[in-house]
Structure 1
Amino acid sequence: MSATLATTRIAHACQLIELGDLRILTDPWFTQTANYHQGEPLAAPVSSLGRLDAVVISHEHYDHCDLDALVAGGVDLDTPVIGPGTVTAIAKDKGFRNLHTIEAWESARIGDLTVTATPGKHGVHEVTFVIQAGGRSVFFGGDSLRIPELDRIPERFGPLDLTILPTNGLCLRPADLRQVVMDAEQAAELTAVLRPTLAVPHHYAFHSGRLGDRMITRGDQDPRHYADAVMRLAPDVEVRIVLPGVRVVVP
């Protein structure tokens, strides 16, 4: 019998994924700055998270790699941290001791948990992840762009139970609106390839503040655009738009 699979959205790309008894936190972000706002309520402080079996981090940007908040919140520094070398180097400097550096198509195994880095592309070096345990599989898309290499995931890993994809199509205004995150249509195209049982969008409420939104970033904050696109491109895939703090159990 397959393990229970559930996910709780903390905020932005920070998710608490439960695979049976295993609890995995993705891309932690618990604080804010003048130009980095979650744009939605934070579901829980670090101190209330409880035991974590692993922290999985796609890249080193502050809004995905808020390790200072984990340390300040009392997370055990022996908690495994999994990510590319750019992330594990930072984690080592913060005092984390159980580091697993993986790049695209490399895996880390921690007990019954297997985390495989899959390709990603962003403004800095990034990987995405397939997270597996108890006969269940999750694809976590961080805030990657839509790249062709991700189409290889089904042939390598088989059916997915859950995909968690960014959808805001974030663009950088000072760089002639260079896109650095997949948008709703591109995320739906990838969903149509991956064919999960359940698809959950994230990374859409973020904003850069009143001035930052005018001068630094532009993004789509409406996840319904993704749901509508999936309905056109992969109508058999269920999409769930999840508020922070809501625990969703995947069939």
Structure 2
Amino acid sequence: MRPRTLAAAAGGLAGMTVLGWVLRALDGLPASLGASVSAIAPTATGARSYRDRQFHNTEPAAPIVVRDNPSGLLSMIAGMREGRPKGSIPLAEPEQPAAPADLAVTWYGHASALIEIDGYRVLTDPVWSERVSPSRLVGPSRIHPAPVALADLPPVDAVVISHDHYDHLDADTIATLVTTQQAVFVVPIGVGSHLRHWGVPEGRIVELDWGCSYSLTDPDGARRELTIVCAEARHFSGRGLVRNTTLWAGWALVGPDHRAYFGGDTGFTKAFATTGAQWGPFDLTLLPIGAYDPHWADIHMNPEEAVRAHADLCLGEPAHGVLVPIHWATFNLAPHPWAEPVHRLVDAAAAAGTEIAVPVPGQRLDLRDLPPGRSWWEDMG
């Protein structure tokens, strides 16, 4: 074979390799995107914040617009090099008692947690995939593994979803939960269309607007009612090129004896004080502290704002209840050092007199008997 022929053959091989990689990157992408805008719209019509075929924040929030700020994009990419720890993140083997506690939480990473409250188990924003992206080959990947297999979770009573972004709503995880759990999926308006698109039975989907609620009851009467309230948040939504076709929310879990709040993903908002006045004070708050940046300050809280939000949710009493930070440590989504969110949280909480508990991924915290805190993140940058 002559050199030119060899070169042509090599080029053709390389082209086939690239094409194969692209095809693998695109595999499953249409399904992962979820429901179409036309499929979502009928369920959204009539919602209090829905107009002009989009949902809107009560308080104006500037969106992330990368195309208008190319220099900011380059700065962000450079800054994100610091967003991974220097060492391996320790994992705890989750404890799974036979019966749910009065008030406990197991943090699996990012916004995925299992809240035990007054005998019920509620799973929040479950994401077990390797990447938070429509592609299985491209997009932010895990910094640490999931500390437990999805199929090994204990039986849960409800799955709550804060919004439809890929780091909070994962198609593969939902598909597995449909077969491994019997729980109902309680979601903001519009998100149910994604679940239907992925085969979740209609009878297991509950869609709620801000201020509306759904109650879990025990057919055997052994547990009293747990109310799940869809609380206003300040964020945005979208799994493709069109934004805000589905609603975003936080969740208040109101039991007969205890109250917990799950923040999902949100900017600081006056709605925290409203939620606290209506459904608080909360004994436990799970609030996002990571993936912040001045370019999207309206839609992602920083650690100091999380401490302020906790106080608002607890009726102005920052020392009431326990704040457990979420939305950090698992995915590199913003240009700040990996451990910066928790360092800032510790300082802000100390200044405010707020009790915090920072679990290792997989660690279960029983709020009746919290273990002594340890700064496990200090050796990892």
Aligned twin of 1:231: 350
1:7 aligns with 2:124: no
User: Aligned pair in 2 of structure 1 residues 92, 167: CA closer, same or farther (>3 Å)?
Assistant: same
Name the residue aligned to 1:25: 123
Alpha carbons of structure 1 residues 85 and 74: separation in structure 2 relative to 1, 3 Å = closer
Cα distance in structure 2, aligned partners of 1:187 and 1:133: 23
Distance in 2 between residues matched to 1:93 and 1:37, nearest whole Å: 25
Residue 358 of structure 2 aligns to a residue in which SS? coil
Structure 1 CA distance for aligned equivalents of residues 192 and 200 of structure 2:
9
Whose strand proportion is higher, 1 or 2? 1
Q: Does 1:249 align with 2:366?
A: yes
- Whether the aligned pair in 1 keeps the contact of 2:156 and 2:181 (CA below 8 Å) is no
Q: Note if contact 1:54-1:79 (Cα within 8 Å) is conserved in structure 2.
A: yes
The letter for the 2-side match of 1:16 is: L
Q: Alpha-carbon deviation of 1:148? A: 0.9
CA gap 1:103/1:73 in 2 versus in 1, 3 angstroms: closer
Tell me if 1:159 matches 2:278.
no
Specify the alignment match of 2:214 in structure 1. Answer: 108
Structure-2 residue corresponding to 1:36: 140
Instruction: State the SS of the aligned residue for 2:306.
Output: helix
Query: Is residue 80 from structure 1 mapped to residue 178 from structure 2 by the alignment?
Result: no
In structure 2, the CA distance between the partners of 1:128 and 1:29, relative to structure 1 (3 Å rule), is same
Identify the residue that residue 201 of structure 1 maps to in structure 2.
Answer: 325
TM-score after normalising by structure 2: 0.58
Q: Distance in 2 between matches of 1:242 and 1:226?
A: 13
CA contact (8 A) 2:109 2:328 kept: no
Residues 37-92 of structure 1: CA deviation (Å, up to 9, x unaligned): 34333121211103111100000111111142232366457520001123211112
Query: Cα distance 1:220–1:122, how it changes in 2: closer, same or farther (>3 A)?
Result: farther
Measured in 2, the distance between the counterparts of 1:41 and 1:77 equals 21
Asked whether 1:122 is paired with 2:235, we answer: yes
1:178 matched residue in structure 2: 296
Q: Which runs of 5+ in 1 are unaligned?
A: none
Show structure 1 runs of 4+ deviating over 4 A. none
Matched position secondary structure for 2:227: strand
Structure ranking higher in helix proportion: 2
- Mapped to 1, the partners of 2:292 and 2:139 lie a distance apart of 14
| 8 A Cα contact 1:27 1:57, kept in partner | yes
TM-score, normalised relative to structure 1: 0.86
Shift of 1:32: 2.0
Contact 1:55–1:79 under 8 Å retained in 2: yes
Cα distance, 1:219 vs. partner? 4.2
CA RMSD across the alignment: 2.0
Number of aligned residue pairs: give it.
Answer: 236
Note the C-alpha offset of 1:161: 0.7
Q: Give the direction of change, closer, same or farther, for the CA distance of 1:220–1:27 in structure 2 (3 Å limit).
A: farther
Q: 1:191 aligns with which of 310, 315, 334?
A: 310
Q: Is the 8 A contact 2:291 2:327 kept in 1?
A: no
1:101 counterpart SS class: strand
Q: Residues 20 and 149 (structure 1 numbering): CA distance in 2 closer, same or farther, change over 3 Å?
A: closer
Q: 1:163 corresponds to which letter in structure 2?
A: T
Pairing partner for 1:61 from 148, 160, 165: 165
- The answer to whether the 8 A contact 2:282-2:321 is kept is yes
Letter in 1 for 2:349: V
* 1:108 aligned partner, one-letter code: Y
Question: Unpaired runs of 5+ in structure 2?
Answer: 1-100, 132-137, 218-224, 238-246, 315-319, 369-381
Residue 141 of structure 1 corresponds to 263
Q: Percent identity?
A: 26
Cα distance in structure 2, aligned partners of 1:75 and 1:241? 32
Give matches, 1:204-219, under 5 Å.
204-208=328-332, 217-219=334-336
CA–CA distance in structure 1, aligned partners of residues 216 and 177 of structure 2:
23
Partner of 1:70: 174
1:1-49 Cα distance to aligned partner (Å, 9 max, x none): xx61100001110001112331110001101223223433312121110
